[in-house]
Structure 1
């Protein structure tokens, strides 16, 4: 019996991993800038809001990593170019790569960041169905 190739769900986990890594870094960087800028009268309030988003991203990233362990997935090379994000991975013995262009990567990052910050998406309900909020994503990675 042949081993099944990398599934759509496994590719989605890898993409989520990439998004969550970038989102967490952006939130952490934004917190530092808010604290150090001296521009805000009450930086602690903004740091708290953005910090909560970073915590949510970190929790989801930890869950994705646990799922990686269960499914024998390892992302071993991540690069950026003017076109987008490239990642190489191993999944149950298969070696593969993923390329995500900047426009779609940024759009999904912004959608997820809004969800992690508890913000309402600026678009209609149809967009929400295309990019489910964090709670729906969390449920989707809890597959045994």
Structure 2
């Protein structure tokens, strides 16, 4: 029986790596903007919340990198294009690439970011009614 070049689990790890890398950068940037904007009366509170999200993403990213090491996976090129994210990787000697289109990448980023901030996936966005209120 032939061993698959790259398993779906390994591809999921690579996808998680990409998502976590971008999420961590977004949280770090947001913390800087909140601190430097001068708009908030208590920026430290918001920085703490977003900073906790950044810490959660960093912990998970570290775990993914450890799993990369165990599985001999390396992402060596990440490109942002008009259509989405493309990453080139090596996995157990196999070389490949993964492309994630922007709509699905952004959607999953938002879902994960909400989770890392302790928000519920079912919470509405700004200006959106709760599901229970919308069904009445």
Q: Distance in 1 between matches of 2:121 and 2:62?
A: 25
CA distances 1:49-87 after superposition (whole Å, capped 9, x unpaired): 000000000000000000000000000000001100000
Q: Partner residue of 1:48?
A: 48
Structure 2 counterpart of 1:134:
none
Q: What is the aligned-residue RMSD (CA, Å)?
A: 1.4
Q: How many Å separate the matches in 2 of 1:122 and 1:85?
A: 26
1:103-126 CA distance string (max 9 Å, x none):
0000000000000000011369xx
What's the offset of the Cα at 1:4? Answer: 3.0
Q: Deviations over 1:11-49 (max 9, x none)?
A: 000000000000000000000000000000000000000
Give secondary structure in 1 for the equivalent of 2:82.
coil
Counterparts of 1:29-108 in structure 2, within 5 Å, are 29-108=29-108
Structure-1 residue corresponding to 2:28: 28
More helix by share: 1
> C-alpha distance in 1, partners of 2:120/2:79?
31
Q: Which runs of 5+ in 2 are unaligned?
A: 125-136
Q: State the TM-score, normalizing by the size of structure 2.
A: 0.88
TM-score, normalising length: structure 1: 0.83
For 2:13, the equivalent position in structure 1 comes to: 13
Larger Rg computed on CA atoms: 2
Q: Which stretches of structure 1, 4 residues or more, deviate above 4 A after TM superposition?
A: none
